[in-house]
A and B are shown apart, each in its own frame.
Chain A
């Protein structure tokens, strides 16, 4: 508990110090609870998520960093490895491949990488996975783009 708090505090200071280091990621700690974080990440370019801003919610366990944080999308996203309803993410480093050397920042980076390179063979969103697996890139991209427009872009007007 103490160790995780100290480590999160270090990460917090690091985030404050290098706010501009990674313009795609904006990590914010909850005002009253250092175990709750949110992040805003930009959809990677040349993907159907480009132009969208996606919100992630982090719930950090007390055994952090020995155990991984729980992360989910708050913004709706059409992606084979993200549950369409709950926003749950299927990513190995958030499960068994977790290493205590990872940080919240690096988890965000890994999620951005996952957005650019979906793994249709272990889908949480079967519709999306099936589109990719059947080779229907156009169908997948237009669905993903539509949801990016609907959910991840500031409303115009």
Chain B
């Protein structure tokens, strides 16, 4: 299998662009020789080469793959991915997947073909026919090939001997166009059925235009199963059709792999290779589209796929409207049209043609209406009241979900802006190298991720059963903390950054700012990671009926609290806290009134349940601290006694 360097058929997927990809090792250039993509050599159209020749192999790079250590099946990502992981680490999760660009996929395909061809000592063209027939399972090919080579060859339509004698000289009759041709004007695949070049060309073109089934194209002869593979396509198809054919190959490869899926992002051509068994299902593509591996909806941690489907169908369906009608209208007792009350008095008159007059409260006929103030209990009324509550609850959660979704989208746009413009401006004005400024993009990535998570916590909250009060309380508390932490980060990245974009204040000031934003980013990340973990656990810390936090989880939260201490108030009521704040010490077990909104809080509450603020204000920096903190979480100043 000597491969020649010079007259390689170099199609679009022998991509010259490979070298642009950041994770490709430049020294590894025997994999991707930078080549101009020369068009199909004319001399090959003469049909002088035998079709088994390596030279006309479509998917072949000009050099043999020498690495030889490629795994057979799904895991041949090898060293590229190791490099890759470092480069696009998602902001929150550890890497549970790798992104495959089109070039990577072609790379893997080439590797597969090279492996099969070298182990079975067959041409690359035959190898790719085998792979197509065996659904890209290299192991299956080896199994059946070594069990029964003839059967395997038959299945893929690769014949060792021609089925019919075909003369190599004289003339040959093409049974498609019914013309006689000199032998060198005709061609055949392994079966030996000869057709003229024109007929081959239109046969192959028609097949490719018909769709991906052209990958399993066979000889035109009735009931002949000989494969018409890449070599023939390379000879007879136009550049455009070859590209189409090669994209069919890529599609077929991806579809045969259970652990690889296309990125559903609009216009994105990358695929995601998922690590089997990973718990985190969220993946994000290079196109910055994040999605759930399982359901391919937008990423939705910490909510599970089922809830997402429910939530999304709820948002799109009319069920909300129906509930609105139920809650805010009453049907006319006579014609049953829903009526919304728009005036103060209870004397209702239905629209023409009904014109029925009735009492809004009891729905009785107005003409003999006396009083209806006595309570009789009305199941209809109760139902309406419930529906009203439900609609209000839904509106509440939906509004917050949608706002965060929009914030996330805005954040993605802002990140774009930061990356394309602000970074450079900042680097110039503050006279800092670009590497020292990457913390800004980090912060923005974190904001986007957190907005996404926060949005979904509202769907989570909507479906959290009303009965589990302890759970609800914990959830709402955690969510509230997450929200205010994120707001702080967002505000810092958005507003404070602006002043540094205008002019240079001082180096120290900028370094201070960098410290702050970096810290906020880290703290927020930790907090959200813990939040996601807790929600995915179904808030298992809460035993039914009590709001105590289990020991193990508490230590986790405490760890987060250590990280978060300067900025984020996590308020885990740790027993080991030796010096309770004076305010807390004074009223450890008593209900306390919030200093801001005067809400009477339960003794266990560390922050006001109504306004979310802490219970005491630092005199130095005015930060509202939680009850349990002995010193100000912001400026570490101790409160005055």
Residues of chain B contacted by A100 (CB below 8 angstroms): 175-176, 199, 203, 220
Interface stretch, picked from A2-10, A36-44, A70-78, A129-137, is A2-10
Residues of chain A contacted by B515 (CB below 8 angstroms): none
* Known contacts A63-B206, A66-B203, A67-B206: A101-B178 contact under CB 8 Å: no
Interface assignment of A65: CB less than 8 Å from any CB of chain B: yes
A11 to B178: give the CA distance in the assembly, Å.
Answer: 8
Residues of chain B contacted by A93 (CB below 8 angstroms): 222
Residues of chain A contacted by B223 (CB below 8 angstroms): 97, 99
Q: Which residue of B lies closest to A13 (CB)?
A: B178
- Contact A66–B202 (Cβ < 8 Å): yes
Interface assignment of B143: CB less than 8 Å from any CB of chain A: no
- Contact A65–B176 (Cβ < 8 Å): yes
- Contact B202–A101 (Cβ < 8 Å): no
Interface assignment of B334: CB less than 8 Å from any CB of chain A: no
Flag B188-226 by CB within 8 Å of A: 1 or 0 each: 000000000011001100100000000000001111000
A93 to B221: give the CA distance in the assembly, Å.
Answer: 12
Partner of B198, one of A3, A65, A102: A3
A14 to B176: give the CA distance in the assembly, Å.
Answer: 14
A100 to B198: give the CA distance in the assembly, Å.
Answer: 13
Partner of A7, one of B176, B203, B206, B222: B176
A102 to B176: give the CA distance in the assembly, Å.
Answer: 8
- Contact A101–B176 (Cβ < 8 Å): yes
Interface assignment of B586: CB less than 8 Å from any CB of chain A: no
B164-189 contacts to A, CB under 8 A, are 175-179
- Min Cβ gap A13→B in Å is 9
A1-28 contacts to B, CB under 8 A, are 3, 6-7, 10-11, 14
A3 to B197: give the CA distance in the assembly, Å.
Answer: 13
Residues of chain A contacted by B220 (CB below 8 angstroms): 99-101
Of the four ranges (under 10, 10 to 19, 20 to 34, 35 or more), the interface on chain B belongs to: 10 to 19
A65 to B179: give the CA distance in the assembly, Å.
Answer: 14
Residues of chain B contacted by A7 (CB below 8 angstroms): 176-178
- Contact B175–A101 (Cβ < 8 Å): yes
Partner of B222, one of A6, A66, A99: A99
Interface centre among B178, B203, B221 (most CB of A within 10 A): B178
**Count: A-B pairs, CB below 8 Å:** 38
A97 to B222: give the CA distance in the assembly, Å.
Answer: 8
Flag A91-120 by CB within 8 Å of B: 1 or 0 each: 001000101111000000000000000000
* Known contacts A63-B206, A66-B206, A67-B206: A6-B221 contact under CB 8 Å: no
Residues of chain A contacted by B179 (CB below 8 angstroms): 10
A63 to B220: give the CA distance in the assembly, Å.
Answer: 14
Of the four ranges (under 10, 10 to 19, 20 to 34, 35 or more), the interface on chain A belongs to: 10 to 19
Residues of chain A contacted by B221 (CB below 8 angstroms): 99, 101
- Min Cβ gap B276→A in Å is 37
Residues of chain B contacted by A11 (CB below 8 angstroms): 178
Q: Which residue of B lies closest to A63 (CB)?
A: B206
Partner of A10, one of B178, B199, B222: B178
Q: Which residue of B lies closest to A7 (CB)?
A: B177
Residues of chain B contacted by A3 (CB below 8 angstroms): 177, 198-199, 202
Residues of chain B contacted by A14 (CB below 8 angstroms): 178
A10 to B539: give the CA distance in the assembly, Å.
Answer: 80
- Min Cβ gap A67→B in Å is 7
A57 to B141: give the CA distance in the assembly, Å.
Answer: 47
Flag A57-91 by CB within 8 Å of B: 1 or 0 each: 00000010111000000000000000000000000
- Contact B178–A102 (Cβ < 8 Å): no
Residues of chain A contacted by B177 (CB below 8 angstroms): 3, 6-7, 10
Q: Which residue of A lies closest to B219 (CB)?
A: A99
- Min Cβ gap B131→A in Å is 23
Residues of chain B contacted by A99 (CB below 8 angstroms): 220-223
A112 to B435: give the CA distance in the assembly, Å.
Answer: 80
A154 to B175: give the CA distance in the assembly, Å.
Answer: 37
- Min Cβ gap A50→B in Å is 28
Q: Which residue of B lies closest to A14 (CB)?
A: B178
A18 to B177: give the CA distance in the assembly, Å.
Answer: 18
Q: Which residue of A lies closest to B204 (CB)?
A: A66
Residues of chain B contacted by A102 (CB below 8 angstroms): 222
- Min Cβ gap A20→B in Å is 20
Residues of chain A contacted by B199 (CB below 8 angstroms): 3, 100
Interface centre among A3, A10, A67, A99 (most CB of B within 10 A): A99
Q: Which residue of A lies closest to B213 (CB)?
A: A96
- Min Cβ gap A1→B in Å is 11
Interface centre among A11, A14, A63 (most CB of B within 10 A): A63
Q: Which residue of A lies closest to B205 (CB)?
A: A66
Flag B141-181 by CB within 8 Å of A: 1 or 0 each: 00000000000000000000000000000000001111100
B209-260 contacts to A, CB under 8 A, are 220-223
A43 to B58: give the CA distance in the assembly, Å.
Answer: 50
Q: Which residue of B lies closest to A65 (CB)?
A: B176
- Min Cβ gap B305→A in Å is 38
A66 to B199: give the CA distance in the assembly, Å.
Answer: 9
- Min Cβ gap B491→A in Å is 64
14 inter-chain pairs at a CB distance below 8 angstroms, sorted by A residue, are A3-B177, A3-B199, A6-B177, A7-B176, A10-B177, A10-B178, A11-B178, A14-B178, A66-B206, A97-B222, A97-B223, A99-B220, A99-B222, A101-B175
Q: A66-B206, A102-B222 are in contact. List 9 more A-B contacts (CB 8 A).
A: A6-B177, A14-B178, A66-B202, A97-B223, A99-B222, A100-B176, A100-B199, A100-B203, A101-B175
- The 3 A-B residue pairs with the shortest CB-CB distance in the complex, in nearest-first order: A10-B178, A99-B222, A66-B206
